[in-house]
């Protein structure tokens, strides 16, 4: 990481910009380079002024706190083979005088082999951005993350009045480190501290807590939404072939799998009847694989200005890479790129967006498992369906009799009812061609009916609601028949 920064400085670039929220890590990288190059290092901020840095400590200020003009004038007069770090200078760069002073400094810096490094949490304004060379600090490496976890544990154990223990196998530690990707070192320290202090122990059982803490920290990031994962495999009825396929690939992102010669799984495309549980599968996989779940919202990708939509998509994919390993869920993918399959009136925007997504899916090498769901296969471009984009294309059909029994049992258990007290087989037979969501609604409506009668839930309540319901398979009979017929020889059955 620091080698490329060192090369930028040695190459004589007068201004280097680093955009990062992990300021301490950026400063540490700069200090290491300054030490290697034997260059004096100075640091400026509006609160501390200009101070020399020696052994990671700030010495007395050469220029007092305040606006940067005085510091820039000082550098103009005293520049001589040094490195100057400016914290949050971007906010001042729109000022004409500051902008002019910086541009005047360019020649001085080149002649005196001096470098100004601008460290900002937000993008630099255009007034100065074009004069700088951007350095990508990147996210902490696995070795850095591992070191932060160990340092945090040792620090808490040393300061705590109670006994702090750690019971992590090598595999547990590897999974923990992988889960921390996409967070800064400071954020990792806070998450790990919370996991340890919760029960004075760090073990494999803390992984769900760590994932939830990461989800909370990340919140909603642009077009990506961090989704809470609360669905276990046993809470999803049917889909046995899909579950077996996913179980085989569960450890595909581990170091052991890579050493064995296995390429990490890339993802699945799930076609099927609306309400059949495709979206639920995304949560199930994230829970079973202990990975965060990010949902790409196609509706937020499209912007009114030329070039913004493509930029939104690239930014979303870049954010997913930085947070890897993750499950990336693209819900109803046909709605985002429907116009890419035919001629459209959007000036080719959908086709460009679709091309960007396909290129990324083909080329990225990050531990990202993509789950794309779709209801309308006619709207999908054929390029998306070919092998190599996804590991497999599954068709999620209407649940069969056994799956309907399982789904009814799951929803009764979820509402604190014993399935053995109900005639599940008869109810499932009565609910022929019902989707999973329609079965759930039958149970919910039966509960409301029983509650209204001031009685306990019985078979008759659920049976009445089933008889009242016209399932989607009947309401949209022709369309669903066409979908099932298309998928018969083109997709792998999920059940």
Cα gap 171→249, rounded to integer Å: 16
Instruction: Dump pLDDT digits (tens) for 428-462.
Output: 999 998 998 999 999 999 999 999 999 999 999 99
Instruction: Dump pLDDT digits (tens) for 306-324.
Output: 456 667 787 778 778 877 7
Domain 227-396 has CATH 3.40.50.720: no
- pTM recorded for the entire structure: 0.67
Query: What fold, for 2-134?
Result: Rossmann fold (3.40.50)
Query: What fold, for 142-218?
Result: Helicase, Ruva Protein; domain 3 (1.10.8)
* DSSP tag of 51: E
Q: What pLDDT shows up at residue 293?
A: 85
Q: What pLDDT shows up at residue 305?
A: 45
Q: What pLDDT shows up at residue 36?
A: 93
Structure tokens given for 421: 């007290």
Cα gap 156→108, rounded to integer Å: 48
57 or 456: whose pLDDT is higher?
456
Cα gap 392→386, rounded to integer Å: 9
Compute the average pLDDT of residues 196-224: 76
Neighbours of 13 (CB within 10 A): 17
CATH no., domain 401-475: 1.10.8.60
Name the CA radius of gyration of the chain, rounded: 28
Confidence of residue 325 (pLDDT cuts 50, 70, 90): confident
Per-residue pLDDT for 108 more than 90? yes
Confidence of residue 304 (pLDDT cuts 50, 70, 90): very low
Domain ranges of the chain: 2-134, 142-218, 227-396, 401-475
Which among 182, 175, 177 is positioned nearest to 148, based on CA atoms? Answer: 177
Give 474's contacts (C-beta < 8 A, 6+ positions apart): 433
Instruction: Dump pLDDT digits (tens) for 88-98.
Output: 999 899 899 99
Task: Say if residues 175 and 289 touch (Cβ distance below 8 Å).
Answer: no
Compute the average pLDDT of residues 162-177: 85
412 or 286: whose pLDDT is higher?
412
Query: What is the full DSSP assignment across 65-124?
Result: SS-THHHHHHHHHH-SS-EEEEES-GGGTTSHHHHHHHHHHHHHHHHHT-EEEEEESSPP
Compute the average pLDDT of residues 21-42: 92
Tokens 């010495």 sit on residue:
59
10 or 181: whose pLDDT is higher?
10
Find which of 98-102, 234-238, 263-267 is predicted with most confidence, using mean pLDDT. 98-102
pLDDT > 90 in the chain, percent: 36
Instruction: Give burial (CB, 10 Å; 0-12/13-18/19+) of 260.
Output: exposed
Compute the average pLDDT of residues 322-346: 70
Cα gap 42→116, rounded to integer Å: 10
1 or 291: whose pLDDT is higher?
291
Q: What pLDDT shows up at residue 1?
A: 47
Per-residue pLDDT for 13 more than 50? yes
Pairing of strands 83-87, 41-45: parallel
């Amino acid at each position: 990481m620091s080698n490329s920064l060192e090369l930028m400085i040695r190459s004589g670039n007068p201004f280097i910009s680093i955009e990062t929220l992990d300021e301490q890590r950026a400063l540490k990288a700069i200090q290491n380079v300054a030490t290697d190059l034997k260059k004096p290092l100075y640091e400026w901020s509006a609160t501390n002024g200009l101070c020399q840095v020696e052994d990671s400590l700030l010495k007395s200020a050469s220029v007092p706190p305040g606006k940067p003009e005085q510091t820039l004038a000082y550098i103009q007069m005293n520049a001589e083979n040094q490195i100057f770090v400016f914290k949050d200078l971007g906010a001042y760069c729109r000022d004409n005088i500051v902008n002019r002073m910086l541009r005047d400094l360019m020649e001085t810096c080149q002649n005196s082999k001096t470098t100004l490094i601008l460290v900002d949490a937000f993008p630099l304004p255009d007034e100065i951005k074009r004069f700088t060379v951007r350095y990508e600090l990147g996210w902490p490496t696995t070795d850095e993350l591992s070191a932060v976890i160990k340092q945090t544990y040792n620090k808490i154990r040393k300061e705590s009045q109670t006994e702090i223990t750690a019971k992590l196998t090598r595999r547990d530690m590897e999974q923990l480190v992988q889960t921390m990707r996409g967070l800064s070192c400071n954020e990792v320290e806070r998450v790990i501290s919370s996991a340890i202090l919760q029960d004075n122990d760090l073990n494999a059982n803390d992984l769900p807590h760590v994932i939830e803490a990461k989800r909370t920290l990340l919140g909603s990031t642009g077009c990506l939404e961090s989704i809470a994962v609360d669905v276990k495999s046993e809470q999803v009825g049917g889909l046995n072939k899909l579950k077996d396929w996913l179980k085989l690939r569960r450890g595909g992102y581990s170091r052991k799998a890579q050493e064995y010669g296995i390429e990490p799984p890339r993802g699945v495309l799930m076609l099927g009847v609306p309400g059949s549980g495709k979206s639920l599968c995304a949560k199930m996989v994230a829970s079973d694989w202990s990975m965060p779940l990010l949902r790409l919202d196609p509706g937020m990708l499209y912007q009114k200005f030329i070039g913004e939509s493509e930029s939104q998509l690239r930014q979303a994919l870049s954010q997913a890479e930085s947070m890897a390993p993750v499950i990336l869920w693209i819900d109803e993918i046909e709605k985002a790129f429907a116009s890419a399959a035919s001629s459209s009136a959007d000036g080719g925007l959908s086709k460009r967006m679709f091309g960007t997504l396909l290129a990324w899916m083909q080329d990225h090498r990050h531990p990202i498992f993509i789950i794309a769901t779709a209801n309308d296969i006619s709207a999908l471009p054929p390029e998306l369906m070919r092998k190599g984009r996804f590991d497999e294309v599954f068709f999620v059909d209407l649940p069969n009799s056994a799956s309907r029994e399982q789904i009814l049992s799951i929803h009764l258990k979820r509402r604190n009812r014993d399935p053995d007290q109900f005639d599940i087989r008869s109810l499932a037979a009565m609910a022929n061609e019902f989707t999973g969501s329609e079965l759930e609604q039958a149970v919910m409506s039966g509960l409301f009916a029983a509650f209204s009668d001031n009685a306990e839930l019985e078979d008759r309540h659920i049976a009445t609601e089933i008889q009242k319901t016209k399932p989607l398979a009947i309401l949209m009979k022709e369309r669903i028949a066409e979908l099932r017929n298309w998928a018969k020889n083109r997709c792998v059955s999920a059940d």
